[in-house]
Chains A and B, each alone.
Chain A
Amino acid sequence: MNILRLQGIDKKYSASEDYAVKDISFDVRKGEILALVGESGSGKTTLLRLISGLEHPDAGTIVLSENTLVSGNRSVPANERNVGMVFQDYALFPHLNLLENVQFGVRKTQGDPAEIARKTLQLVGLKENYSKYPHQLSGGQQQRVALARAIAPNPSILLMDEPFSNLDAMLKDQVREEIRQIIKRTGVTAIFVTHDTRDALSTADRVAILHKGYLQQLDSPKNLYENPANPYVANFFGRRNQVIATATEDGFYTSFGFIADERSRNFRNSVKLLFRPEEIKIKKSLKQALIGTVRQCAYFGDHQMVLLADESGKSIYVRASPTRYFVEGSEVFFTIRSFKVEEAF
């Protein structure tokens, strides 16, 4: 069941600028976690603000749990939308203590606000003294309070703006998983914005990729990684190598050598071979392998990224084991485990 539906959403901040978002349509299913991913300026934060009602679209409709929020000139104001939001800087009220912050949005008709606030704080696992003030808490604790404040009034949808960007790397992995757990436990539908693909892939059920205001692809993390709709999406999740080859009866001729592959029969002449750096396996001998020259090697602790060049200088990235020692200028033999073939135009 869909809880949120966006249709043909356009937004321009000023007449002279490009569209911040253009012709965006998608559905969000009840209970799922959707990530909006893109570089800065891709329109992801704009989209979040349009859903929340802090901005109004120039065109399109937004429907949230069967209430039309936006249609034509009509737009339900932000304070009547029943939308929860966790801001990037948390936006905790500095003059209110934790309990007061969390019960701020709870109506008396929903029950005792203090009681609901206390329960929500327990749900997010905050064991601190609830009469403390925001500035007395660590960054991670502040984020829990912000999350508790957003879900305490039982919103139809929870929006999070860059929820992990203020956390340091060590804390991030742990918090990501915890927040996912909390969201799943409450059953609330959530949309979060991030520029970090790792956040998106590990936390979200589905991921929407935005680029220059346009929606590129919306799919599960696995599908996005394995079947990117276009080169932009493909490159978004790490590098993807592209090698020009000539198809023959029994395989592909590349500038790195010959690859035996039956798929070559389906193609004629020039093709593109597409594969990720981790698909390459380093070999000891040239037998049935390709050959390249080491140009650069960068060490990352758990792996090495090696740049291999052919004779003409065209290069590909190889993800190699950290234990192996590469000498610049030396030759390396390798095979490609799996790759995609596309017609080259």
Chain B
Amino acid sequence: MTGTVLVLLLIATPIFTILFKLLDAPGETWTHLRDTLLIGYFTNTLFLLLGVAFFTFLLGVSTAWMVSNYRFPGRRYFEWLLILPLGFPGYIMAYTYTGMLDYSGPLQAFLRNTLDIQVVGSIVDIMNLPGAVFILSITLFPYVYLLSRASFLQQSRTLQEASALLGRNDWYTFRRIALPMARPAIVGGIALASMEVLNDYGTVKYFGVSTFTTGIFRSWFSLGDVTTAIYLAAILMLFVFGILLLESVQRGHRRFASNKSVSKPLVKRRLSARKSWMLTLSCSLLFFLSFVAPFLQILHWVGLTYQKTMDEAFFFLILRTFGLAAGTGALVAVVSVTLVYSLRLSPFKWLKNVSRIATLGYAIPGAVIAVGIMIPILGLDRWLRESLPAGAIGIVLSGTVYALIFAYMVRFLAVGYHPIDAGFQKIGIHVNEASRLLGKNSWKTLWKIDLPLIRAGFLSGILLVFVDVLKELPLTLILRPFNYQTLATKAFDMATNEMIAESANASLIIILTGIIPIVFLNRMIRRVNL
């Protein structure tokens, strides 16, 4: 019980830090930044958010509707192929597209050598704000696609039949019935994508677009001004809460689930040959742009550079990153089980509400968490240094891998928590009670009864956290120990140092690992819906 509250408090540290530090008087840097750069941060971030929201909506909803409603060649494959772009972290997509559109890249080479067209550089310049919108949209649209597809699949077939029999065509039915009913899911998807936009550092940094995230990095690393970083983090958090608020307000109390009766799934409709090939073509084009082309480019680069890059050090880098990710995954799973289980057995109902703090981390941008954790840890170290006899170790926690793992846990606890919580809810409380009535204490029951039953949720929790840690960039950049690399930071460092082709080796491993849970996740969703 006290343990539970303590864990929750620890997880809430970054939020408390930021609230607490906001009380500090702003320094000169802040005043300067406020007068010069802040408006740019604001408009850039807003433009990025709105742009990505618009395009993920367009791409995600249209593909979800096609795939869940019509028969066309390749539909069964596009159903899961369109999720694969999620395996691309935004920053890797950014490097890849920059390379592809480069003077020496395949597009310009083709135009120049085959069609004899000289391209003026700026025509295909992607390293700007609209370019960032494009990159983030093609990597994040699967969130909207996934959630709206799930919603379309849940909608009762009879509602669409009713609309058709009332004389309405497909387009009218889509606009008036399917779309409004899927609204909560669609907005949920866009909210997820927006969180990722606010979290992104790699893409905007590489494209030279100044946002709140890059601002935090600048004031932290270049200017060394903690207060300014905190102020920027606080504003960024306002964006996050704004999005969360919008999302929950639009969801309201209405639930558009169909009646209690079992709803019949949608029947996929046939189209004329010409129309169905049009659908195949548009899905192919999107899949090509968001996955095939960048993936081929990365393979090409790996082919060029693997002999130079894949040495012993690189092998150890992989081992270390995987170890870090697996260790964090296991830790998150264990903490989640402990939290969920003690909440289940706790007689205090209010604890359940407090426990939502545990899952808030996923909404908070990595840079904010990093700053919110770094400050108390630095303070703790200073205190330890002063109270320990002179000559003892100077750095205890700051700049160690423990601080990094703790930050990962804060950020990704929700990712592991949800599948485990769902697992517990599915098995119900009665088996647990039966075991305890048969004379086993609650920890023995957890070990013998509950844990074996939630195995699937436990493993998927570890797996999802594993992949997220692998891709994580901004938080790792701030909190990593000196000269400590993960695959993500390695790719970032190389790309920033004009070694895009070499960076592809680390990227490839991140992408391939990222695809595993996507396929796995898709199978889970299908099982739920069919």
Q: Which residues on A are within 8 Å of B, measured CB to CB?
A: 52-54, 77-85, 87-91, 93-96, 104-105, 107, 149-150, 153, 166
Name the 9 nearest CB pairs between A and B, nearest first. A105-B166, A91-B158, A91-B162, A78-B164, A79-B164, A85-B165, A89-B261, A87-B158, A95-B180
Task: Say yes or no for B161: interface residue by CB 8 A criterion.
Answer: yes
A89-B156, A93-B177 as given contacts; A79 in contact with B168, CB under 8 Å: yes
Contact size range, B: 20 to 34
Q: Which of B161, B176, B256 has the most CB of A within 10 A?
A: B161
Choose one: A52, A79, A88; the contact of B167 (CB below 8 Å): A79
Task: Say yes or no for B163: interface residue by CB 8 A criterion.
Answer: yes
CB distance from A333 to the nearest CB of B (A): 51
Task: Say yes or no for B259: interface residue by CB 8 A criterion.
Answer: yes
Q: Which of B165, B169, B177, B180 has the most CB of A within 10 A?
A: B165
Docked complex Cα distance between A153 and B164 (Å): 13
A89-B156, A89-B158 as given contacts; A94 in contact with B256, CB under 8 Å: yes
Docked complex Cα distance between A77 and B160 (Å): 13
CB-CB nearest in chain B for A166: B261
Choose one: B162, B177, B254, B256; the contact of A87 (CB below 8 Å): B162
Choose one: B163, B164, B259; the contact of A90 (CB below 8 Å): B259
Residues in A with CB closer than 8 Å to B258 are 89, 94
CB-CB nearest in chain B for A103: B166
Taking a contact as CB atoms under 8 Å apart, the answer to whether A89 and B259 are in contact is: yes
Residues in A with CB closer than 8 Å to B9 are none
Choose one: B159, B165, B168, B169; the contact of A84 (CB below 8 Å): B165
A91-B156, A91-B158, A95-B254 as given contacts; A153 in contact with B259, CB under 8 Å: no
Residues in B with CB closer than 8 Å to A166 are 261
Taking a contact as CB atoms under 8 Å apart, the answer to whether B165 and A79 are in contact is: yes
- What are 29 A-B interface contacts by the 8 Å CB criterion? A52-B161, A52-B165, A53-B164, A78-B164, A79-B163, A79-B164, A79-B165, A79-B168, A81-B165, A87-B158, A89-B258, A89-B259, A91-B158, A91-B159, A91-B161, A93-B159, A93-B163, A93-B176, A93-B177, A95-B181, A95-B254, A104-B163, A105-B165, A105-B168, A149-B166, A150-B166, A153-B166, A153-B167, A166-B261
Docked complex Cα distance between A263 and B169 (Å): 64
Give me 9 other A-B pairs in contact (C-beta within 8 A), A52-B165, A94-B258 excluded. A52-B161, A54-B161, A54-B164, A79-B166, A79-B167, A79-B168, A91-B159, A104-B168, A150-B166
CB distance from A67 to the nearest CB of B (A): 14
Docked complex Cα distance between A93 and B169 (Å): 16
Taking a contact as CB atoms under 8 Å apart, the answer to whether B162 and A85 are in contact is: yes
Docked complex Cα distance between A85 and B158 (Å): 10
Docked complex Cα distance between A149 and B261 (Å): 20
CB-CB nearest in chain A for B168: A79
Docked complex Cα distance between A70 and B112 (Å): 58
Taking a contact as CB atoms under 8 Å apart, the answer to whether B259 and A80 are in contact is: no
Docked complex Cα distance between A82 and B164 (Å): 10
Q: Which residues of chain B in 114-164 are interfacial with respect to chain A, using CB atoms and an 8 Å cutoff? A: 156, 158-159, 161-164
Residues in A with CB closer than 8 Å to B158 are 87, 89, 91
Docked complex Cα distance between A158 and B164 (Å): 14
CB distance from B207 to the nearest CB of A (A): 40
Residues in A with CB closer than 8 Å to B161 are 52, 54, 78, 85, 87, 91
CB distance from B42 to the nearest CB of A (A): 35
Taking a contact as CB atoms under 8 Å apart, the answer to whether B177 and A83 are in contact is: no
